[in-house]
Amino acid sequence: MSGRLLPTDPATIGGHRLLARLGAGGMGVVYLGRTEAGTLAAVKVIQAEYADEPDFRARFRREVEAARRVTSPWAVPVTGADPDAAAPWLATAFVPGPSLEEAAARHGPLPVRSMRVLARMLAAALREVHAAGLVHRDVKPANVLLAVDGPRFIDFGIARATDETAITSTDLVVGTPGFLSPEQAEARGAALGPAGDIFSLGCLLAYAASGRPPFGTGTADALLYRTVHDEPDLAGIEAEENAEDNEEAEEDTAGTELLTLLHLCLAKDPADRPTAEQIWPWRTSTPAPVRDGPSMWR
């Protein structure tokens, strides 16, 4: 959803003519911008009060560096940035599509064919994120955009390099309650590795397949408790998928296989979860090249 520019909004940022507002949060605004060459971009601009904080500016600089390290076709690429500007900004390629969160809310659960391809493409993206030495740490439906040729991961604002000093605060929870791992829920800083992204991917896929978060809704404390102590609510996923699969014999077991994948990703122990590399060729006897994904997605 886009909105009109406000009178207080700048006309240009970093060589981008601003056309509309794509979204706004407590720390900044995301604009639809266009370069002199006519290329559209999503331009994230940080509010001045945060730009004046050295720690925040350092975190934003790390966000830019993290986003630039990921080269997957299923992650939105950085097209420009200036973390040292008076108003720090980051531009990424514009993806003309809704978020997975918006799509599921409007149209309900995804069909099994889409679920299979969504899992493969997002796992391929996480494979590149992890290969770059990063952990996304905020894998959730709102951070996946659905384009015509496939999904795209966005927002590396809290990504962390795996070789950085781990967060040691006992009360700092990193991520979005309901879509984070048990180790994130308990702020186990030293344990926040790639396996946490896999758990979050399981939450995301469960949401896409059922239309509801696997650990329910409610307060942050309630969601964190359920994530650590309760089993995910996956009721109905197999039945819903199998009902559709009956139309095509080759997909008779797809719902069961999806449920198996979800249970593996949502294991409480990080050591019991598959890697992104292991998920990527799911449901294929030989892994297909990533470039074949767009035709499958459509």
The pLDDT of residue 190 is above 50: yes
Superfamily per CATH, domain 12-93:
Phosphorylase Kinase; domain 1 (3.30.200.20)
3-state class (DSSP) for residue 161: strand
Other Cβ atoms within 10 Å of 66 Cβ, number? 22
**pLDDT confidence band for 289 (50 / 70 / 90):** very low
Residue 293 has pLDDT above 80, yes or no: no
Catalytic residues: 138
The string of pLDDT tens digits covering residues 136-185 is 889 999 999 999 999 999 887 666 665 554 444 445 666 799 999 999 99
pLDDT on residue 133: 87
What CATH number has the domain spanning 100-297?
1.10.510.10
Q: Are strands 150-153 and 144-147 parallel, antiparallel or unpaired?
A: antiparallel
Same fold, 12-93 and 100-297: no
Determine the pLDDT at residue 72. Answer: 87
| Residue 106 confidence (pLDDT) above 50 | yes
pLDDT at 216: 95
pTM for this entry: 0.83
Query: Could you state, in order of their start, the residue ranges of all structural domains in the chain?
Result: 12-93, 100-297
pLDDT for position 80: 94
The least confident of 36-40, 110-114, 136-140, 237-241 is: 237-241
Q: Give the model's pLDDT for residue 27.
A: 79
DSSP 69-94: H---TTBPPEEEEETTSSS-EEEEE-
Q: Which residue has the higher pLDDT, 67 or 285?
A: 67
User: At 226, phi and psi to the nearest 5?
Assistant: -65, -40
Q: What is the pLDDT of residue 294?
A: 53
- Kindly state the percentage of the chain with pLDDT values over 70: 80
pLDDT tens, position by position, 164-178: 544 444 456 667 999
Is pLDDT of 252 > 60? no
Spatial CB neighbours of 39, under 8 Å, sequence gap ≥ 6: 79
112 vs 92, higher pLDDT: 92
Mean pLDDT of 40-63: 87
